[in-house]
A and B are shown apart, each in its own frame.
Chain A
């Protein structure tokens, strides 16, 4: 191994930094770059983040009860609806922002000037650049969740009965954030850049409408086939997870199923997305 040791010494003398340290520094710098861009576009980000949940919460939990078109009928179930919708709104906002934060910039970076070719010249492995995309997307998904939280708690006309289980919240929220960004990376790398916007219609909308946002998964029991089909929707586990973490007395999936579903989707989507990224960047 002395030849190797000599070689390493020569490399250091030539100004090479050890790979791992250089990779971590590059990873961190890429993240700082993404946060700088986020800061510059914070107004757009805020509007994008707030608009959908604001309307959702306003119409379903303020307008409907006021005009007597309550979802569920009696006022006690209206209150329960506000409470269970809260988890759904947080989950929807996170997946929406996580996907957008990763997939939309990729349209530009993979576009015809291939900006991405510069980003991947940073001294870290290509998969590291992909992981950074997930990390940056996860941060934005978390921020989205945080922004939406007060909206869902304050606007409803009927009281929202929050009951925070911190252990669940502090584990579910980060996993949900990474899951959302990994879905964005998968979408952004597995279809042609110009088709990404189309994906919002054919993937994101069904995911949000059939994601156990407006009702607990268990209440789908009368439509058994739908209850089974929606298990392929990662948002189901996220919303059920937030119900577990934020409410008490609202029915939710078994804890093990929530975690297993979220972790499985996170792992698979991350792998598919990172592999897709490598395929797009390397030839």
Chain B
């Protein structure tokens, strides 16, 4: 962990000479990144990711999918058991202290410094990252204004509401102008209003060119905020694309869910035969789900087919595919179970 006067650790010099390509254009790059915890729990398996500058990248998956471990590795707190990763062009294993200069983190829990005031949290954070007194003061003031916390500057952080604490954590995360901001489940436990406010903030930061990697198990969040989304489950990436691309991968633009009296399997067969080639059916929970291309006239056609087969419809809904649909298609289970 000794660094040379040039600021490059000997291990990193060796890594460079080994030919590890930390591409400086990719803000995040991982190759075969894996983490097996003691006891053999494989939290992340062979993750290959590239996140470009200015992207909002989402890791979407249920609890236990390996999202937090991934963020932990990329922010140097979890040591990978295999593979390599670069953040901001720096090898996170060889030079964690240097990599931290490029990283801002908003953790899942409230990690604000409870011995300090709101303002001091920002001020000292800037000082940790090398700002002098005047610069740290100015930045703390600026951020408090930007995040609408100026009237709470001298407050104890324990007195902040959940939404305010979260805003302060984001403000602190970007205070040192990192290349990338990690947000681990940033809206979990927030009320809807605070969630929307946070989304707005993230849109704003995106507009300023900040790269953001966020984890979430809310598919709306991934859909609304992210340029690209990786769907994770059991430590692996199952699919990676833009939200639009992921939804298109379902192979349908209309999804109808029909509950009827009678045998769902028989009704599914009737629908598949009656709706023609493009339609695919699934049964589950006593209902039939139909994936179709083209929404025109779907409802009357389904009703007609039900009547013809002697099924009485008890419930019918038509929707577009969501990331939830994609997740169910990939894993056979729902995101929030």
Asked whether any CB of chain B lies closer than 8 Å to the CB of A21, the reply is yes
Question: Which residue of chain A lies nearest to B7 when distances are taken between CB atoms in the complex?
Answer: A18
Q: Give the contacting residue for A114; candidates B101, B102, B109, B172; CB below 8 A.
A: B109
What's the Cα separation between A88 and B115 when bound, in Å?
A: 32
- Which of B126-134, B146-154, B207-215, B233-241 lies at the binding interface? B126-134
B1 x A283 contact (CB < 8 A):
no
Number of interface residues of B (CB under 8 A): 47
What's the Cα separation between A121 and B175 when bound, in Å?
A: 13
Q: Give the contacting residue for B98; candidates A19, A32, A114; CB below 8 A.
A: A19
Q: Give the contacting residue for B114; candidates A18, A115, A117; CB below 8 A.
A: A115
What's the Cα separation between A47 and B8 when bound, in Å?
A: 47
Give B contacts to A, CB under 8 Å.
1, 3, 5-9, 13, 16-17, 24, 37, 72, 75, 77-79, 88-90, 95-98, 100-103, 105, 107, 109-116, 120, 124, 127-130, 172, 177, 179
Q: Give the contacting residue for B124; candidates A14, A32, A117, A128; CB below 8 A.
A: A32
B16 x A3 contact (CB < 8 A):
yes
> Which residues on A sit within 8 Å (CB–CB) of B75?
121
If A3-B16, A32-B127, A123-B100 touch, whether A20 touches B7 (CB-CB below 8 Å) is yes
Number of interface residues of A (CB under 8 A): 48
Asked whether any CB of chain B lies closer than 8 Å to the CB of A125, the reply is yes
The binding surface of chain A is classed by DSSP as helix
If A14-B89, A22-B101, A26-B129 touch, whether A114 touches B6 (CB-CB below 8 Å) is no
If A22-B130, A117-B107, A127-B1 touch, whether A108 touches B102 (CB-CB below 8 Å) is no
> How many CB-defined contacts (below 8 Å) exist between A and B?
138
- Which of A4-12, A157-165, A180-188, A223-231 lies at the binding interface? A4-12
B113 x A23 contact (CB < 8 A):
no
What's the Cα separation between A120 and B16 when bound, in Å?
A: 26
> Which residues on A sit within 8 Å (CB–CB) of B124?
29, 32-33, 36
Question: Which residue of chain A lies nearest to B102 when distances are taken between CB atoms in the complex?
Answer: A16
What's the Cα separation between A22 and B130 when bound, in Å?
A: 6
Question: Which residue of chain B lies nearest to A128 when distances are taken between CB atoms in the complex?
Answer: B97
What's the Cα separation between A23 and B97 when bound, in Å?
A: 8
Q: 9 more A-B contacts (CB under 8 A) besides A22-B97, A115-B112?
A: A1-B13, A8-B8, A11-B7, A18-B7, A22-B130, A36-B116, A123-B128, A123-B129, A281-B77
